[in-house]
Amino acid sequence: MSISDKVALVTGAGTGIGKGVAIELARRGVKVAVHYNQSSAGAVHTRQQIEEFGGQAFIVQGNVAHKREIESMVQQVADQYGGIDILVNNAALQLNHGFFDHTEETYDTMMHINLKGYWQCIQAVVPYMKIKNSGRIINISSVHAKRPTDFDAVYAMTKGGIRMLGRESAIELGKYGITVNTIEPGAVDVGKYSTSRAPEIRRRFPLGRVGTPHDVAQLVCFIASDESEFMSGAAIRLDGASMLL
């Protein structure tokens, strides 16, 4: 399952899932553009970890809520590495506001980052993928694209929108040899889960643990590989069966 020498842009790669995805792609020989908006220290740390094992990484900054910034960062990646083969749409905002606590401003901010940002990142990379008549677009969503939340309705709305964006994009871009798939993780440990919650975790998660960024990264690497060339428009739940409870 070789993806060596491919070029990937991973948005939101300074922390959490994005960091794990960027590192694992680089470990498998991918040249990785590490994107961040505000977490510059995190992006530098991601690059340092990649360079420690001899991987290649390049940092780009931009607010995915703004089309011009997206186009600028994509152009920088193409100039640096000669194109883009893989886009991992991951950068997202989760405010955890109650239903009546959201305002028009918070609604717009979340929609612009979590949904419009994914759409415009796809638009920006497709011209480079069309040149090679191939490409992999992987959208990181959430199980809340399928299951309502009890903590942020707007967040869940954006995740449901990402699922449909992936389906529509898969239809539209298939003629260019580009596949589009969505990963829908459940709970992922990005430093919020303590060992004191172990009994609770065993009750809520059939495999006895929450997910990790590495779990998501391994699935990203499979989808990015040639082995998945006939898979497109899929939305893959990655939650250790927790949603079945």
Residues with catalytic roles: 155
Q: Which of 107, 93, 115 is nearest to 39 (CA)?
A: 93
In this structure, what is the dihedral angle of CA atoms 210, 213, 217, 220, given to the nearest 10 degrees? 70
Contact by Cβ (8 Å): 34, 56: no
The CA distances from residue 203 to 23, 32, 212, 230, in Å, are 31, 38, 18, 37
Task: Return all residues near 125 (Cβ < 8 A) that are at least 6 apart.
Answer: 9, 74, 84, 87, 135, 137
DSSP H/E element including 137 = strand 135-140
Among 243, 34, 10, which Cα is nearest to 140's? Answer: 10
Cβ atoms of 86 and 135 within 8 Å: the answer is yes
* DSSP-assigned letter for residue 112: I
Which residues make Cβ contacts (< 8 Å) with residue 175, sequence separation at least 6?
Answer: none
